[in-house]
Structure 1
Amino acid sequence: MAGGHAHAHSSADELSRVPVDPRARVVLVAVLGAVLVATVLGVVQLWPEHKPRAEGGSNAFAAPGVTFHDARVLRVQQPCASVRESEQQTSCGQVVVRVLSGTQRGARTQVPVAPEVSTSGLRAGDTLELLQTPASNGRASTFSFFSVERDLPIGLLAALFVLVVALVARLRGLLALVGLAFGAAVVVLFMLPSLLDGHSGLGVALSGSAAIMFVVLYLAHGLSMRTSAALLGTLVGVAITAVVGLVAIGQTRLSGVSDETGSLLSSYVRDLDFQGLLTCAVIVAGLGVLNDVTITQASAVWELRAVAPNLSRARLFARAMRIGRDHIASTIYTIVFAYAGGALSVLLLLYFYERPPLSLLSTEQIAEEVVRTLASAIGLVLAVPVTTAIAVATVGDRSSSRPLPRDTDPTDPR
């Protein structure tokens, strides 16, 4: 998430010659092996049943008998100037469409839309998704606006993202995208349905996050002791974030239901632990930043050892931490502003009501963002010295009389 941090400057040959302490190698591999076994067992134990969640499938959240249909925009009317005009449904505030599916395919109708929808750039030729309410009590079937169909522009943006990554980051970038796809699969196929099954949010988050990190880090950065040191530092950071988040959520009495989405979900999923869901969100939210700082710190230690083989471990740690402190400072800004941007509409509403700044912390939505930000930040900050210490303990000293095994990363093209 925090951009612009160079992870390596030495040549691949120089880094491959950095020695690794054999005892540290054994300990590191053993610890990661134990964590991997625990992760697999956790995923197996918490694997969801994937049973249907609501009667009626995807339409259940609307109303019985309601169906979804696409419609082509023919004309967009100007927003109504007043509430009275809107209630009278005059020639304003509506969109004229042609239905593209269902029993009324080809029918021409008009549906009211919110002013912000009609002024967002909506024009003839766009596609909308409509809700069709079935006829009842002598009333004819009606259509209402649900959303704008955005598959094409979002797909083009995603394709541009993949192209840019492939051109700039090449193989490493493509492998990172594969890891990202794996992470998305873990979230969709394991974490979400497991949470809906009522499993512990903490257990689901730790198992899923560890599984993601094992695959993502080795795919993006290669199979090496350097990556392994970063991985262990990441896992420690995840554990710290989990503990801090769990305690903070309990002490602040957060319910985990802060908006309409949470309220709607609570009405349909009775056995969902919303505090556990919030704990899971805190942990998952910090994964990307943790990955960034830990791999940077591990790479910094390898770089420093490559150019200063006779540096003592204490001085190696101190110099690597200078890099880490700069990274912490820039990444803290990244976290805070990212969460502030996500809650900007809530902040605007509270500012509009002229609430005192400190009173904002009492609102559920703001308190959630604050807890999520601070818990992730604490895990991030503590992961830096932990990862640095692990990497320093892992690399060897070329000045020692006994030759040490080299760290190898045959997939690293740098």
Structure 2
Amino acid sequence: MVIEQNQIGILFKKIKTLKKKEIILYLIVSIILITGVVPIFHNYNWYDTTIVKIKTVENSLSEESKESSAKEKYFNQVVIGVIMNGDYLGQNVFLQNKYSSSGVLDEKYKAREEVFIKIDSVDNGKITGSIIGFKRDKYMAVLLALFILFLFMITKKKAFFTFISLTANIAVLCYALNLNHKGHNIWVISICLALFFTFFSLILISGLKKKTFAAILSTLISLSFTMILFKIFMVFTQGVDYTYMGYIAGQNYLSDLFLSQILIGGLGAIMDIAITEASAINELVDINSKISIKDLISSGREVGHDIMGTMINIMLFTYICGIIPLIILKMKNNIELHTIIIWQVPMELYGFMIGSIGILLTIPISLTVSIIVFKKLRRSI
């Protein structure tokens, strides 16, 4: 009895020590993040563009809206603000802005907000200008800091590797877009990106393990089969009408552009399923090395069925979220929803369906690859 009480006491001490270490870690991370965020609120000198902090705003209905019975109303704003950087630092500036009730193509500004402006004239000390847009970097900095803090609180040690992976992926993506801007083929670049994202992300987060190798192999095979099926579909049908793409300006290789969107868009969900299946099969084999292949297939299918629905829904949300404002705007202009779906969003529907097919293919492919890696190869070794 005394021994059990001592063991319980030791366990509580370990828990307290662990909590203290976690609290210290969170405090250190919080201090670092606050130190990084605070300067963003006062970084006016980092910009060449003139920044203004709005002091007062006067709103009034425009003359054309007073005389019109249309639902869409337009308003005028007389804005007075103080310049926060540049040659006219500390001086007042007078701005005018026009915004609509829908706010689709314009903004309504309020006091204490910060905006970028272009100075139009300086006459006898009176400065006038026009607003270019919001200064949003401080809000982004706060969100990024909260994201990093929650990442450390939830994933602890893996947070560092996750953040490094995310940062590297963004940097490589920006570099790839710059290569495309210089004339390199977008489809070739996207294939290289898919390979980099797959290898780098999975190895960095999961480590050099068998399950990582199985997930990488499953991801690449699933992506290949998905893109091959789509190419076959394009050959034996009339293909895709790329005039529905909302970003065709200046592009003369729309097929490659759309294929790239499908490849990168479906990569995340396919990687997720592949690593989940690999981890599940790995755990089952580690717990019971004599488990039958039939039981592994049954368990792997159950795991696949559990995550299949959520992954397909994620794919739907990924492709649809960007066009929600367009759908709402057109419905407000009395365009029927089915008309919008048929004529305005077919490319998003193509992407969703192809990505969903990729998700469905990944389940049996990753299950087969994982069983071969963890069961067959283990037995042969």
TM-score w.r.t. length of structure 1: 0.68
The one-letter amino acid of 1:128's match is V
Q: Secondary structure at the match of 1:396?
A: helix
- 1:301 & 1:79 partners in 2: Cα distance? 66
Q: Which residue of 2 aligns with 1:70?
A: 51
Q: Which residue of 2 aligns with 1:298?
A: 278
How many pairs were matched up? 320
Q: Which residue of 2 aligns with 1:197?
A: 182
Q: Is the 8 Å Cα contact of residues 69 and 130 (structure 1) preserved in structure 2?
A: yes
Q: Secondary structure at the match of 2:366?
A: helix
- 1:70 & 1:125 partners in 2: Cα distance? 12
Higher helix share: 2
1:96-245 maps to which residues of 2 (within 5 A)? 96-102=80-86, 104-105=88-89, 106-115=91-100, 116=103, 122-132=109-119, 143-189=129-175, 191-244=176-229
CA distance change for structure 1 residues 225 and 92 in 2, over 3 Å: closer, same or farther?
A: same
Q: Is the 8 Å Cα contact of residues 187 and 208 (structure 1) preserved in structure 2?
A: yes
Q: Which residue of 2 aligns with 1:252?
A: 240
Q: Secondary structure at the match of 1:185?
A: helix
Superposed CA RMSD: 3.4
Give the C-alpha shift of residue 390 in structure 1.
0.5
CA distance change for structure 1 residues 277 and 104 in 2, over 3 Å: closer, same or farther?
A: farther
- 2:142 & 2:350 partners in 1: Cα distance? 35
Give the C-alpha shift of residue 180 in structure 1.
0.8
- 2:95 & 2:201 partners in 1: Cα distance? 48
Q: Which residue of 2 aligns with 1:328?
A: 308
Q: Is the 8 Å Cα contact of residues 71 and 100 (structure 1) preserved in structure 2?
A: yes
Give the C-alpha shift of residue 239 in structure 1.
2.5
Higher strand share: 2
Q: Which residue of 1 aligns with 2:361?
A: 382
The CA deviation string for residues 183-219 of structure 1, in whole angstroms up to 9 with x for no partner, is 1011001x20122233322211111111121111011
Q: Secondary structure at the match of 2:291?
A: coil
Q: Secondary structure at the match of 2:299?
A: helix
- 2:164 & 2:218 partners in 1: Cα distance? 22
Q: Is the 8 Å Cα contact of residues 76 and 96 (structure 2) preserved in structure 1?
A: no
- 1:274 & 1:144 partners in 2: Cα distance? 37
Give the C-alpha shift of residue 104 in structure 1.
4.8
Q: Is the 8 Å Cα contact of residues 119 and 129 (structure 2) preserved in structure 1?
A: yes
The one-letter amino acid of 1:228's match is F
Give the C-alpha shift of residue 311 in structure 1.
2.5
Which protein is bigger by CA-based radius of gyration? 2
CA distance change for structure 1 residues 94 and 388 in 2, over 3 Å: closer, same or farther?
A: farther
The CA deviation string for residues 73-92 of structure 1, in whole angstroms up to 9 with x for no partner, is 11122252653579xxx994
Runs of 4+ in 1 over 6 A off after TM superposition: 247-250
- 1:199 & 1:350 partners in 2: Cα distance? 36
Q: Structure 1: give runs of 5+ residues left out of the alignment.
A: 1-66, 405-414
- 1:193 & 1:240 partners in 2: Cα distance? 29
Match of 2:265 among 285, 290, 294: 285
Match of 1:83 among 59, 64, 77: 64
Give the C-alpha shift of residue 347 in structure 1.
1.7
Structure with larger RCO (C-alpha < 8 A, sep 6+): 1
Q: Is the 8 Å Cα contact of residues 50 and 85 (structure 2) preserved in structure 1?
A: yes
CA distance change for structure 1 residues 161 and 225 in 2, over 3 Å: closer, same or farther?
A: same
Q: Which residue of 1 aligns with 2:373?
A: 394
- 2:244 & 2:128 partners in 1: Cα distance? 36
The one-letter amino acid of 1:332's match is I
CA distance change for structure 1 residues 70 and 244 in 2, over 3 Å: closer, same or farther?
A: farther
Q: Which residue of 1 aligns with 2:44?
A: none
Q: Is the 8 Å Cα contact of residues 309 and 399 (structure 1) preserved in structure 2?
A: no
The one-letter amino acid of 1:97's match is G
Q: Secondary structure at the match of 2:111?
A: coil
Q: Secondary structure at the match of 1:252?
A: coil
CA distance change for structure 1 residues 133 and 223 in 2, over 3 Å: closer, same or farther?
A: farther
Q: Is the 8 Å Cα contact of residues 290 and 380 (structure 1) preserved in structure 2?
A: yes
- 1:274 & 1:72 partners in 2: Cα distance? 43
Give the C-alpha shift of residue 251 in structure 1.
1.3
Give the C-alpha shift of residue 253 in structure 1.
1.3
- 1:132 & 1:241 partners in 2: Cα distance? 53
Q: Which residue of 2 aligns with 1:373?
A: 352
The one-letter amino acid of 1:69's match is T
